[in-house]
């Protein structure tokens, strides 16, 4: 039976989600990859136990994470039931609904029918009575925003979620959603969006500034740009890389000569800082007080431990920030 280390809270910083009372670890663990049916169960346990032993209290999932869809929730639920149940009140567990999950018109997008049915299914797979955060996973222009937000409110008021969140929204839509949830007295606390040195979309679509304006937290996924912001591609494309093995999320076309040159230039800055490129890329995000937490994935426990090292140096000079911007946005 797993027993957590006693000093697990000694080094990880915890940050407030906007103006709410909820604190998240600076580094959170995402189960997007490596926790589905194709993963090795013993490795999943090793990663999750390593995370918790090092102060990572937040574990982020979605209904469709796999493969197969739902399997990441099922595997995490099994680990919860077997080993982590005594620590449930020390953990923040989140899940989402918004992408295609089951056949027919009620298994996708943002209707009340889909969101609440999906949450019920997620709780069964997770073997939990409630999740801490329930997200609408993406904007749905064909469903009234009031309906989707009303479903989040119902999830909270029913006791099946403690907080509401939204993911992949832009700034103007997020502000409308926040206004609806405020009228409903629903604790909407966090936005989850893709953000990295290479992906500045939330700076352009207003989400980042809107989150700060509305006092909401921001948790970022793909902070390492699907591995581009690591040492994996400093010398070209390895044969065992995600690009070669699975081109769904990172395609070989993305690795142009210009992109490889940018990676090398960014790595040179990281070396001067005494960090790996991955550590610097995570630290760059956490140096922004708008960012509550960064969601990292891991294929093995050692990789997770390497990423956690980013918290040792979160300070950047103005010159470093300017140089990172020049390189990445060229």
Q: DSSP readout, 289-305?
A: TT--EEEE--SSHHHHH
* Whether the model pTM is above 0.85: yes
With vertex at residue 327, the alpha carbon angle to CA 326 and CA 328, rounded to the nearest 5 degrees, is 100
CA atoms in the 13 A half-sphere facing the CB of 132: 19
Is residue 40 packed enough to be buried (19+ CB in 10 Å), middle (13-18) or exposed (0-12)? exposed
Nearest to 98 by CA among 138, 153, 71, 146: 138
3 state SS of 58: strand
Helix (H) or strand (E) holding 189: strand 188-194
With vertex at residue 184, the alpha carbon angle to CA 183 and CA 187, rounded to the nearest 5 degrees, is 105
Cα distance between residue 324 and residue 273, in whole Å: 13
- The position carrying tokens 């005494």 is 274
Domains and CATH numbers, the chain: 14-235+280-315 (3.20.20.100)
* Per-residue pLDDT tens digits of the chain, which is 330 residues long: 899 999 999 999 999 999 999 999 999 999 999 999 999 999 999 999 999 999 999 999 999 999 999 999 999 999 999 999 999 999 999 999 999 999 999 999 999 999 999 999 999 999 999 999 999 999 999 999 999 999 999 999 999 999 999 999 999 999 999 999 999 999 999 999 999 999 999 999 999 999 999 999 999 999 999 999 999 888 777 666 656 556 555 666 778 889 999 999 999 999 999 999 999 999 999 999 999 999 999 999 999 999 999 999 999 999 999 999 999 988
């Amino acid at each position: 039976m797993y027993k957590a280390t006693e000093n697990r809270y000694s080094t990880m910083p915890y940050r407030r989600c906007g103006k709410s009372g909820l604190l998240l670890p600076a580094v959170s663990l995402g189960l997007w990859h490596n926790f589905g049916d194709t993963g090795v169960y013993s490795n999943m346990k090793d990663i999750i136990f390593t995370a918790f032993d090092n102060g990572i209290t937040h574990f982020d999932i979605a209904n469709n994470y796999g493969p197969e869809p739902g399997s990441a929730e099922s595997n995490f639920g099994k680990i919860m039931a077997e080993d982590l149940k005594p620590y449930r009140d020390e953990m923040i567990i989140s899940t989402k609904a918004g992408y295609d999950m089951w056949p027919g018109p009620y298994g996708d997008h943002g209707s009340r029918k889909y969101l609440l049915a999906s949450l019920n299914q997620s709780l069964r797979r997770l073997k939990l009575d409630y999740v801490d955060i329930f997200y609408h996973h993406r904007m749905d222009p064909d469903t009234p925003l009031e309906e989707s937000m009303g479903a989040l409110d119902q999830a909270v008021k029913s006791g099946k979620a403690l907080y509401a969140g939204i993911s992949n929204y832009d700034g103007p839509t997020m502000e409308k959603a926040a206004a609806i949830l405020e009228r409903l007295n629903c604790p909407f606390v966090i936005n989850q969006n893709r953000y990295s040195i290479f992906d500045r979309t939330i700076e352009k679509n207003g989400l980042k500034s809107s989150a700060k304006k509305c006092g909401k937290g921001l948790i970022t996924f793909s902070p390492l740009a699907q591995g581009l912001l690591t040492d994996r591609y400093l010398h070209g494309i390895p044969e065992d890389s995600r690009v070669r093995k699975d081109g769904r999320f990172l395609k070989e076309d993305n690795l142009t000569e210009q992109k490889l040159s940018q990676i090398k230039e960014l790595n040179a800055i990281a070396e001067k800082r005494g960090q790996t490129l991955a550590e610097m890329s995570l630290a760059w995000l956490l140096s922004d007080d708008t960012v509550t937490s960064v969601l990292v994935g891991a294929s093995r426990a050692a990789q997770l431990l390497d990423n956690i090292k980013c918290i040792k140096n979160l300070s950047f000079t103005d010159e470093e920030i300017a140089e990172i911007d020049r390189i990445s946005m060229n």
